[in-house]
Chain A
Amino acid sequence: MFFALTDDQREFDAAVRGYLAERFDLEAVRGVVEDPAGDGHPASLWKAAAEQGWPAVLVPEEHEGLGLGLVEAQVIARALGAGVAPGPWRGTVLAAEAIRLAGSPEQQAAWLPRLASGEAVGALAPRGSAPGTLPAVEYGAVADVVVVRSGEGLALVEASAFSATPQGSYDGTARLASLAVDGTGEALPGATAEIVAELTARATVLVAADLVGIAREALSRTVAYDRDRQQFGVPVGSFQAIKHALADLHVGVTMAEHAALYAAHAVDAGLPDAALAVAVAKAKAGDVALDATAAMIQYHGGIGYTWEHEAHFFYKRAKRLAGQFGDSDAQRARIAELTIDTVPA
């Protein structure tokens, strides 16, 4: 039994976090948040990400990727969530996943090396289908290629074939765009219903992992603040009203960490309970991220409600991601289907 990150996976985690801490800290995030008209896609960060192989994580080695698994990808996603980092990493990884899972050899050869190297930016349209208008596509405005639903399957739409209209969003740590697509795109021939479901599962796991990263960081920062912040002559963290809330959050965040890790493994290994694992991970991660980021504001007191404090970066990002690929209620509806309507063996 080994349910944990390996040493290599821990090193990967430390590398991503180390880079963000040194080169793209919360002041840099603030720069992106306070420039809502900008593309939210800092060149220095993307260059470093590409150099360190973050977009290449799931691309097979034959296409110049790292050939690693969803466990490693969720390590990166979690670290990016903890850093509330902007950029089109997830969309690029998921576009590559769609092409890896369902693309023709020609499509794979054309796109995977470019997506792995960061030369091309990818996106995944979570809603709508081509032709039509696809709302709230993460980093759709800077994407070179977008994976969209088309009929029952999936298709690629290149930048020349859509027009992007930026959509304002109070989560300033990412950029969203509405994409108008005229044609049906270039079909991904292998996109069966099972492959579409697997792509959605992978997307859901990566969003859950980002939420878990947000939640843990929000909690850690709040604990650190409440250890020092004095009121009534003592640290506020010595009050049980606060201690118990933070202890419960620690338990919840830890469970969400387990759930995201397990879901990543279950999807990669094709375990029989993968669908349940993904729904559990997303439901738990979404709930705990909303709770932890709300607690971050509450247990910083007034300063936590100000623009100058970073709590709102975490809170707003959690609000956006908690709804992605099915919010907690939608995940619970799925869990109910899997455990109430299916009589156990």
Chain B
Amino acid sequence: MDLTYTEAEEEFRSELRSWLSANIPDEWTRPGFWESLDDDESFRLRRDWERDKALAGFAGIQWPTEYGGRGGTPGMKAIYDEETVRAHAPRTVNPLGLTFLAPTVMAIGTEAQKKEIIGPMLRNEVIWCQGFSEPGAGSDLAALTTKGVRDGDDFVVNGQKVWTTNAVHGDKIFTMVRTEPGSSKHRGISMLLIDMHQPGVDARPLKQMSGASEFGEVFFDDARVPARDCLGEIGDGWRTAMLLLSFERGASGIAQYTEFRRQYDQIVEVARALGRDKDPVMRGTLARVLTELECLRLHAMHVLTQVEQGRDLGFEASMTKLQWSEAFQDLWEVFDDVLGEDATLDSIDGIDLRPLHAQAMWSRSVTIWGGSSQVQRNITAERVLGLPR
């Protein structure tokens, strides 16, 4: 058992810490700051800050330097995740690109794709969206009907995608498109990398139950994409997508723990302010969710160990998703318990609850996107436990 990082990794930590402390204005760490901005303003501020961070060398931590990364270790990536949360760094504006597309490109992309995609993504010159879900294809992704018809060197794409993060701010979208006419289910799909700045692409915001618009819809009306801008083989998009989704594991559990634990402490603070922290039932409920958060931290250490040992985690990614998303949702349900009959008020005793309510609303989404909890349970039961389909 060795729960420490190497000397080089700890050096990286202190270097990163000093950059973060010099480059994050105090104002940004104030609760409610980001919620007080409108979506465009928040996006712009975060995009520019993240670019500066990349230029300072704190991006693409584990990607090779030749593609614009830092050439670091998985441990450095975990440290990066943890420290950025700890320092209240703004959320990335390129989450789908960084979490999903970059590792997939590194795994199966062509040399040209690696060069063209990774660096500009890290510097936020290209904001990536994900085009998977459709109105008729959610959990049943293979039911997708967005079509791509070959026309010379291009595909001409028609259809609609939905639940697209950052749709209105996106520059490019990695999109699951049915490129073989008459194909069905998992066959005949390609992962096309489509430029969103063209007349055939229309992105519209989708207002969520929280009132925010992180998601949107993307309509393709004779949009064009060169056939060479396909990630993986043409017609082999299902395999590319499965590989891509498997990257949700990573070492980000440590960052999630750091963030969720801070939120737990915020909830405890509210309970204390309202004089509800001595109630034994409330204490038991809080301790129950804290237990799950601690387990998440340990699970993240387990995942990081497996990655460092070069082991394939395979379908264990579903367990990771279940643990963090369900624990996060439970955490915010406890918040409502703490507020009791005043659960919906914007403020109590002068405490502004709106930023916390925003998290609580967001928590309803995390057990749906990226594979719903029900889908993750099916995967865990069938692929990990070996129960029959």
Q: How far is the CA of A248 from the CA of B384 in the complex (A)?
A: 12
Structural contact, B305 and A227, CB atoms closer than 8 A: no
- Tell me if A303 counts as interface (CB < 8 A to partner B): no
The reply to whether B1 and A223 contact each other, CB–CB distance below 8 Å, is no
Is B290 touching A234 in the complex (CB atoms < 8 A)?
Answer: no
**A residues bordering B, Cβ < 8 Å?**
1-4, 6, 71, 223, 226-227, 234-235, 237-238, 240, 242-244, 246-248, 250-251, 254-256, 258-259, 261-262, 265, 269, 276-277, 280, 283-284, 329, 331-333, 335-336, 339-341, 344
* B385 adjacent to chain A (CB < 8 Å): yes
Chain B contact surface mostly: helix
In Å, the complex CA distance between A265 and B302 comes to 14
A227 touching B287 by the CB < 8 A rule? no
Give the one of A223, A332, A340 with max B CB within 10 A. A340
Beyond A254-B319, A265-B1, A333-B287, 9 extra complex contacts between A and B, CB < 8 Å: A3-B1, A4-B302, A71-B1, A223-B387, A237-B388, A255-B292, A261-B298, A280-B294, A329-B284
Known: A2-B1, A340-B268. A332 touches B287 (CB 8 A): yes
Interface string of B305-341 (1 = CB under 8 A from A): 1101100000000010011000000000000000000
Chain B residues near A (Cβ < 8 Å): 1-5, 75, 78, 264-265, 268, 271-272, 277, 280, 283-284, 286-288, 290-292, 294-295, 298-299, 301-302, 304-306, 308-309, 319, 322-323, 374, 376-378, 380-382, 384-389
Contact B284 A1 (CB under 8 A): no
Cβ B319 vs Cβ A243 within 8 A: no
Residues of A within 8 A of B291 (CB): 280, 283-284, 332, 335
Chain A residue numbers with a CB within 8 Å of B374 are 240, 244
**Nearest 3 CB-CB pairs, A to B?**
A243-B381, A332-B287, A255-B295
A-B contact pairs, 18 of them (CB 8 A): A1-B305, A3-B302, A237-B387, A243-B378, A243-B381, A251-B380, A258-B295, A259-B298, A262-B301, A283-B287, A283-B291, A332-B288, A333-B283, A333-B284, A335-B291, A339-B264, A339-B287, A339-B290
Chain A, Cβ-Cβ closest to B307: A1
- Whether the Cβ atoms of B288 and A238 lie closer than 8 Å is no
CB atoms of B388 and A247 under 8 A apart: no
Which residues from chain A contact B386 at a C-beta distance below 8 Å?
A: 223, 227
Set of chain B residues within 8 Å of A262, measured between Cβ atoms: 298, 301
Q: Are A246 and B381 in contact (CB under 8 A)?
A: yes
